[in-house]
Amino acid sequence: NAGVMQNPRHLVRRRGQEARLRCSPMKGHSHVYWYRQLPEEGLKFMVYLQKENIIDESGMPKERFSAEFPKEGPSILRIQQVVRGDSAAYFCASSLYSNQPQHFGDGTRLSIL
In the complex, the residues that contact other proteins under the rule CB under 8 A are 4, 6, 31, 33, 35, 41-45, 48, 55-56, 59, 91, 93, 95, 98-107
User: With respect to other proteins, which residue has the nearer C-beta, 15 or 51?
Assistant: 51
| Chain Cα centroid distance, residue 4 | 11
Q: Please enumerate in sequence order all residues whose Cβ is within 8 A of that of 32, keeping only pairs 6 or more positions apart, or say none.
A: 23, 25, 48, 49, 50, 69, 75, 92, 93, 94
User: With respect to other proteins, which residue has the nearer C-beta, 16 or 61?
Assistant: 61
User: With respect to other proteins, which residue has the nearer C-beta, 38 or 113?
Assistant: 38
User: With respect to other proteins, which residue has the nearer C-beta, 17 or 100?
Assistant: 100
CB of 48 to other proteins, least distance (A): 5
CB of 22 to other proteins, least distance (A): 14
Residue 107 phi/psi, 5° resolution?
85, 165
Residue 48, amino acid:
Y
CB of 2 to other proteins, least distance (A): 13
Torsion angle of the four alpha carbons 47, 100, 41, 68, in this order, in degrees rounded to the nearest 10: -20
